[in-house]
């Protein structure tokens, strides 16, 4: 059979598609990345859409088997595919990607993980993920690493093999313990590229007590030996927060010396697009937000948008 794999929007090599590639190659099938012009030549097409905001106009449910959180939360790989090691040759990726756990302890309404995966549970050891031994870099896709009942064992593996590790989805600084902060400081944490010693956290919500928890977690992490400049924070905007609250979180984190990556909840909202662009492209270093807002985003645009969406 001739199999095509359609990666709609992954930012990194798509783990599910790599496992499907392994499954079909072991059966003797030919596997290639999807080319729209050759649709009629394929015996089967698998498509994966991760983000609900990405363009899925080329998806054809009648001719493709489609999955991914951006398409259908209920679609999962068959067990016989899920248990396979990924075929990294699909992307010519030289490192390692996987989950040590699935699920999450929380039920944030803006996040689909609890609905899709439920409560935290173990998934793989580091040794099981670390298949490409020529590389010492492992990218973890865990949504709640320290929610893993076996997190101490996984940290021990990282240290034993002296691996560089990216906690790519971020860690929950609000509830990190002293022991967890010390464990984190003891490993070679890195950003997603593996080139920078940086670990990601998040300040997604605004509410009573949240800032206090962030401050306490920040203190635990710095007391463990991690420098503020080695921290980065995902900051969700547009989810029950005002412009003032968004700017407060961004400014405070910059003031503490951490990097900030703004994540708009609604990427079509002119204000959210403008604020994320201002921060993420480092325009904030040279232009104040009020000045940038006047030049690049006007309240009338926001009113027109709100009128259009009702």
- pLDDT one-digit tens code per residue, 9-44: 999 999 999 999 999 999 999 999 999 999 999 999
Task: Say if residue 87 is in the same domain as residue 136.
Answer: no
Q: Is the pLDDT of residue 220 over 90?
A: yes
Q: Residue 15 domain-assigned?
A: yes
Task: Say if residue 255 is in the same domain as residue 140.
Answer: yes
Task: Say if residue 49 is in the same domain as residue 120.
Answer: no
The region of weakest confidence among 32-41, 90-99, 219-228, 289-298 is 289-298
Q: Which domain holds residue 84?
A: 1-92
Task: Say if residue 98 is in the same domain as residue 235.
Answer: yes
Task: Say if residue 238 is in the same domain as residue 155.
Answer: yes
CA terminus-to-terminus distance, the chain: 48
Task: Say if residue 121 is in the same domain as residue 227.
Answer: yes
Task: Say if residue 100 is in the same domain as residue 192.
Answer: yes
Pairing mode, strands 164-167 and 188-189: parallel
Q: What is the DSSP string of 55-76?
A: --TT--TTT-EEESTTT-TT--
Q: Residue 274 domain-assigned?
A: no
Identify the domain boundary among 63, 92, 121: 92
Q: What is the pLDDT of residues 149-206, one digit of tens each?
A: 999 999 999 999 999 999 999 999 999 999 999 999 999 999 999 999 999 999 998 9
Q: Do 142 and 105 form a contact (C-beta atoms < 8 A)?
A: no
Identify the domain boundary among 92, 113, 138: 92
Task: Say if residue 123 is in the same domain as residue 252.
Answer: yes
Task: Say if residue 188 is in the same domain as residue 133.
Answer: yes
Q: Is the pLDDT of residue 273 over 70?
A: yes
Mean pLDDT across the chain: 93
Token output for 139: 């990218």
Q: Residue 48 domain-assigned?
A: yes
Task: Say if residue 140 is in the same domain as residue 239.
Answer: yes
Around Cβ 53, how many Cβ atoms within 10 Å?
Answer: 12
Structural domains counted in the chain: 2
Q: Residue 240 domain-assigned?
A: yes
Helices (H), 106-209: 113-117, 126-129, 151-160, 178-185
């Amino acid at each position: 059979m001739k199999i095509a794999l359609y990666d709609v929007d992954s930012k990194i090599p798509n783990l599910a598609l790599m496992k499907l590639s392994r499954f079909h190659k072991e059966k003797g099938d030919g596997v290639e990345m999807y080319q729209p012009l050759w649709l009629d030549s394929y015996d089967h097409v698998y498509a994966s859409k991760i983000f609900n905001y990405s363009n899925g106009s080329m998806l054809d449910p009648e001719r493709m088997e489609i999955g991914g959180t951006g398409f259908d939360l209920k679609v999962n790989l068959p067990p016989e595919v899920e248990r396979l090691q990924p075929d990294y040759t699909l992307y010519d990726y030289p490192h390692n990607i996987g989950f040590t756990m699935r699920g999450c302890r929380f039920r944030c309404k803006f996040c689909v993980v609890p609905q899709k995966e439920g409560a935290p549970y173990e998934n793989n050891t580091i040794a099981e993920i670390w298949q490409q031994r020529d590389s010492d870099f492992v990218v973890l896709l865990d949504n709640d690493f320290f929610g893993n009942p076996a997190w101490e064992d996984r940290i021990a593996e990282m240290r034993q093999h002296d691996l560089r590790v990216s906690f790519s989805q971020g860690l929950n600084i609000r509830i990190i313990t002293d022991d967890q902060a010390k464990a984190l400081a003891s490993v070679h944490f890195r950003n997603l590229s593996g080139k920078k010693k940086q670990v990601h956290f998040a300040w997604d919500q605004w509410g009573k007590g949240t800032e206090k928890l962030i401050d306490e977690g920040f203190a635990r992490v710095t007391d463990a030996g991690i420098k503020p400049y080695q921290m980065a924070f995902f900051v969700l905007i547009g989810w029950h927060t005002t412009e003032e609250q968004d700017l407060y979180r961004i400014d405070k984190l910059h003031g503490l010396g951490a990097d900030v990556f703004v994540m708009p909840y609604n990427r079509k909202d002119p204000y959210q697009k403008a604020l994320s662009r201002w921060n993420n492209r480092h325009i904030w270093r040279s232009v104040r937000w009020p000045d940038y807002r006047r030049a690049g985003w006007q309240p009338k645009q926001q009113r027109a948008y709100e009128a259009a969406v009702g």
